[in-house]
């Protein structure tokens, strides 16, 4: 089996060709070297693979476990029909994520990152959330999208916010929001990333809207924000916070 290595964004792509069988130790070694070099997101391209047997499946499982043990992810792309039967019989198709196109597979790695960020944010729920209704200005960080929207923040914490009234942004898009904190109308400008989009069918009361996570802001700005939230929460029933 021949293996060529390339990189797209932060993803290592191994283009496989030939037979994956008992002589496929180079696959395990190549994956292991990627992990040792600090690349834990790996995509295996099966487009030129002619044959795979159970020894080849075992090699894939060994490689997969090494990636998993390094907190990485391995996915498959362009799996020919004649290989899918082997994967199905061996149960590998229930373990591995398989995609029809490289672009689709690459995008799922990015979505995984967003989900990870959401989980990290959930671990930081020590920042209490303030139900609030204030107008803000919201625009994309992309200079090619200069439109500024006037929308409402309905939920605010020291790490993020839920913004109601806008459906113009995608997951992972970076935005800038400006708000004036009452009662002194102290202006605060924050950078954020879109980390959640409500489903219109399942969550109609939250649609249109976006959940954002703040980033790249100073400790002093976060302190001002948290101080504002805590001060206003002190006037509310205790069950209004997490």
The CATH number covering residue 34 comes to 3.30.750.24
**Residue 154 and residue 96 share a domain:** no
Does 171 reside within a domain?
yes
Q: 216 or 83: which carries more pLDDT confidence?
A: 83
Could you read off the pLDDT of 193-209 as tens digits, one per residue? 999 888 888 788 888 99
**Residue 201 and residue 176 share a domain:** yes
Which of 85, 116, 147 terminates a domain? The answer is 116
Structural domain boundaries, residue 181: 130-240
Does 152 reside within a domain?
yes
**Residue 158 and residue 92 share a domain:** no
**pLDDT over 60 at 106, yes or no:** yes
**Residue 186 and residue 145 share a domain:** yes
**Residue 84 and residue 24 share a domain:** yes
Pairwise CA distance, residues 124 & 187, whole Å: 25
Give the mean model confidence (pLDDT) for residues 22-39: 93
Which pLDDT band holds residue 5 (cuts at 50, 70, 90)? very high
Cβ–Cβ < 8 Å for 33, 65: no
**pLDDT over 50 at 241, yes or no:** no
Give the mean model confidence (pLDDT) for residues 4-19: 94
Number of structural domains the chain divides into: 2
**Residue 140 and residue 44 share a domain:** no
- pTM equals 0.50
**Residue 219 and residue 134 share a domain:** yes
**Residue 93 and residue 68 share a domain:** yes
**Range scoring the smallest mean pLDDT among 71-80, 108-117, 130-139:** 108-117
Give the mean model confidence (pLDDT) for residues 13-38: 94
Own/partner pairs, 178-187, CB within 8 angstroms, 24+ separation: 178/136, 178/137, 178/138, 179/134, 179/135, 179/136, 179/137, 179/153, 180/134, 181/224, 181/225, 181/228, 182/134, 186/224
CATH of the domain at 176: 2.40.10.220
């Amino acid at each position: 089996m021949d293996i060529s290595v390339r990189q797209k964004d932060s993803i290592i792509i191994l283009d496989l060709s030939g037979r994956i069988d008992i002589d496929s130790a180079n696959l395990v070694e190549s994956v292991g070297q990627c992990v040792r070099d600090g690349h834990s997101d790996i995509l295996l391209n099966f487009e030129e693979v002619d044959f795979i047997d159970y020894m080849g499946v075992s090699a894939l499982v060994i490689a997969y476990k090494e990636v998993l043990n390094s907190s990485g992810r391995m996915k498959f792309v362009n799996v020919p029909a004649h290989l899918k039967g082997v994967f199905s019989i061996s149960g590998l198709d229930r373990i591995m994520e398989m995609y029809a196109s490289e672009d689709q597979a690459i995008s799922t790695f990015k979505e995984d990152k967003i989900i990870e960020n959401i989980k990290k944010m959930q671990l930081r729920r020590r920042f209490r959330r303030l139900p609030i209704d204030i107008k803000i200005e919201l625009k994309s960080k992309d200079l090619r999208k200069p439109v500024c929207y006037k929308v409402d923040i309905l939920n605010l914490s020291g790490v993020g916010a839920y913004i109601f009234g806008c459906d113009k942004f995608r997951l992972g898009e970076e935005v800038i929001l400006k708000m004036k904190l009452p009662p002194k109308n102290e202006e605060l400008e924050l950078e954020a990333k879109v980390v959640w989009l409500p489903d219109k069918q399942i969550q109609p009361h939250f649609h249109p809207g976006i959940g954002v996570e703040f980033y790249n802001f100073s400790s002093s700005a976060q302190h001002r924000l948290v101080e504002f939230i805590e001060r206003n929460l002190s006037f509310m029933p205790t069950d209004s916070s997490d």
